[in-house]
Amino acid sequence: MTANVTTDVLVVGAGAAGMYAAIAASKGGADTVLVDKSLIGRGGATIMAQMTVAAAVAEQTPDHWTHHLRDTLASGRGLCNEDLAAILCEEAPIRIRELDAWKIGWAREDDHMKQVMAPGHGAERCVYVDFLNTGPAVAKTLRTRLGRADNLRRAGELTVTSVVVDAGRVVGAVGLNLETGGAVTIEAKAVILAAGGLTKLYRRNSASVNMGGDSYALALRAGAELIDMEFVQFFPIGHLAPRLVGMDPIMWDPFRYKLGGRLLNGDGQEFTHKYGHAETTDKYTAPRDVASFAILSEVAAGRGSPAGGAYLSFEHIPESDLRAAFGPVIDRLAANGIDLTKRGVEVAPIAHYHMGGVRVDGRMATAVAGLYAAGEAVGGANGANRLSGNALSEAFVFGERAGRFAAKDVAGRGSAWSEAAARPALDEIAASRHARDARPGPGLAAMLVELQELMWRDVGLLRTEAGLAGALARITKMRAEIGDHPDGSDHRFALSLQDWFDMRNSLLVAETIVLGAHIRTESRGAHQREDFARTDPAQEHNLVTRLADGELTVAPVPLVRKPFDLMHLEAAE
Amino acid sequence: MSPGTAKLRVQRGGPGDDPVFEDFEVPYRQGMSVLDALIWIRANKDASLAIRYSCTNANTCKECMVSVEGRTVYACTERLGTDRVSVGPLTNKRLLRDLVTDIVPPKEKLSALLDNGGD
Interface of A with B in 245-264 (CB under 8 A): 245-249
Q: How far is A554 from chain B (nearest CA, A)?
A: 32
Find the closest chain A residue to B36 by CA distance: A245
Distances (CA, A) of A239 to A47, A204, A311: 18, 10, 10
Residue A27, chain B, CB below 8 Å: the answer is no
Closest CA to B6 of B46, B39, B55: B39
- In chain B, residues with a C-beta closer than 8 Å to the C-beta of A446 are 43-44, 47
β pairing state of A262-264 and A310-313: antiparallel
Q: Nearest CB to A243: which of B32, B48, B54?
A: B32
Contact A246 B58 (CB under 8 A): yes
Q: Is B31 on the interface with A (CB under 8 A)?
A: yes
Phi-psi map region of B59: left, alpha, beta (phi>0 left; psi -120 to 50 alpha): left
The verdict on a CB contact (< 8 Å) between A184 and B118 is: yes
Q: Closest-CA residue in chain B for A242?
A: B31
| Positive or negative: CA dihedral B16, B21, B26, B32 | positive
Chain B nearest-CA residue for A152: B113
Give residue A282's pLDDT: 63
pLDDT tens, B33-81? 999 999 999 999 999 999 999 998 888 999 999 999 999 999 999 999 8
- Annotated catalytic sites of A, by residue? 288
Across the interface, which of A1, A2, A496 has its CB nearest the CB of B47?
A496
Q: In DSSP terms, which residues pair with B23 in a beta bridge?
A: B9
Dihedral of the alpha carbons of A38, A41, A43, A49, in degrees to the nearest 10? 180
**Cβ A63 vs Cβ A233: under 8 Å:** no
Per the CB < 8 Å rule, is A42 touching B61? Answer: yes
ipTM, 2 dp: 0.95
Distance from CA of B76 to the nearest CA of A (A): 7
Question: Within an 8 Å CB–CB cutoff, is residue B51 touching chain A?
Answer: yes
CATH class belonging to B5-112? alpha beta
Q: What is the DSSP letter of A352?
A: E
Q: Could you write out the three-class secondary structure of A546-567?
A: EEECCEEEEEEECCCCCCCCCC
**B47: which chain A residues are within 8 Å (Cβ-Cβ)?**
440-446, 495-496, 499
Q: Is the pLDDT of residue B119 over 50?
A: no
Q: B95 - beta bridge partners?
A: B101
Asked if residue B1 has pLDDT above 50, the reply is: no
Q: CB distance A441–B47 less than 8 Å?
A: yes
Q: Which residues, 6+ apart, have CB-to-CB distance to A102 below 8 Å?
A: A141, A144, A145
Q: What are phi and psi of A543, to 5 degrees?
A: -105, 130
One-letter amino acid for residue A8 of the chain: D
Instruction: Write down all domains in chain A, each with its CATH number in brackets.
Output: 3-231+355-418 (3.50.50.60), 233-351 (3.90.700.10)
Q: Do A147 and B32 touch (CB under 8 A)?
A: no
CA-to-CA distance for A123 and B116, rounded, in angstroms? 54
The CA–CA distances, whole Å, from A287 to A22, A152, A231, A276, A279 equal: 34, 40, 15, 11, 11
Residues in chain A with CB shorter than 8 Å from the CB of B109 are 155-157, 179
> How far is the alpha carbon of B117 from chain A, nearest alpha carbon, in Å?
7
Rounded mean pLDDT for each run of 10 residues along chain A, 573 residues in total: 93 98 98 97 89 94 97 97 98 98 97 93 95 93 96 97 98 97 97 98 93 98 98 95 87 83 93 81 76 92 96 92 88 89 94 97 98 98 96 98 98 96 96 76 89 97 97 97 89 93 98 98 96 97 96 98 92 47
- Does A132 contact B at CB distance below 8 Å? no
pTM of the predicted model, to two decimals? Answer: 0.96
Residue A48 has its nearest CB partner, among B15, B58, B79, at B58
Please give the Cα distance from B54 to B52 (Å, whole number): 7
What pLDDT is recorded for position A487? 84
